[in-house]
């Protein structure tokens, strides 16, 4: 299955503006779906397994964590976010939709955290990101 996330926003926006999408740009231009009468959306075999989150530059907010971060949200409602070199926040969004309980140091969730860490590393590798995850 192909993972679809925010990578389609830029090509679709360029398409809506009539600007050619660079060949090296990842993602799909779906602008034809809204500009071509009667065109039907493509059929996928289901939603993606996970979505990649990225805040590549510091926020500039002095009252926040002012570092870049990466993360994923999985189809089974886990969210895992890391600061560079530091495993950080796994959340069970079913049980904790407001992300109040950081499960990073709860031994009962070590296997879940390891799996999420591995999946995030796969995204980083796939996208050629230079972000360095810490150990689990």
Domain boundaries, the chain: 1-46, 50-127
Token code pair at residue 53 = 């989150």
Give the helix/strand (H/E) hosting 50.
strand 50-55
What's the pTM? 0.65
pLDDT at 4: 46
pLDDT band with cut points at 50, 70 and 90 for residue 83: confident
- Summarize the confidence of residues 59-76 as an average pLDDT: 79
On the 0-12 / 13-18 / 19+ scale of CB atoms within 10 A, 135 is exposed
pLDDT band with cut points at 50, 70 and 90 for residue 69: confident
Asked whether the beta carbons of 133 and 88 are under 8 A apart, the reply is no
pLDDT band with cut points at 50, 70 and 90 for residue 42: low
- Rg over CA atoms, the chain: 18
- Other residues' Cβ atoms within 10 Å of the Cβ of residue 101: 14
116 φ, ψ (degrees, to nearest 5): -65, -40
Distance CA 47, CA 108 (A): 28
CATH 3.30.70.60 for domain 50-127, yes or no, is: no
pLDDT at 85: 74
pLDDT band with cut points at 50, 70 and 90 for residue 87: low
């Amino acid at each position: 299955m192909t993972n679809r996330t925010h990578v389609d926003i830029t090509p679709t926006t360029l398409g809506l503006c009539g600007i050619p999408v660079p060949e090296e740009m990842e993602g799909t231009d779906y602008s034809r779906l809204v500009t071509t009468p009667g065109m039907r959306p493509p059929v996928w075999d289901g939603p993606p397994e996970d979505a990649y989150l990225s805040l590549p530059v510091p926020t500039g907010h002095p009252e926040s964590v002012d570092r870049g971060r990466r993360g994923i949200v999985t189809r089974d409602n886990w969210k895992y976010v890391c600061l560079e070199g530091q495993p950080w926040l796994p959340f069970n969004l079913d049980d904790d939709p407001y992300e109040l309980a950081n499960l990073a140091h709860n031994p009962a969730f070590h296997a879940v955290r390891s799996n999420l860490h591995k999946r995030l590393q796969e995204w980083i590798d796939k996208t050629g990101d230079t972000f360095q995850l810490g150990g689990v």
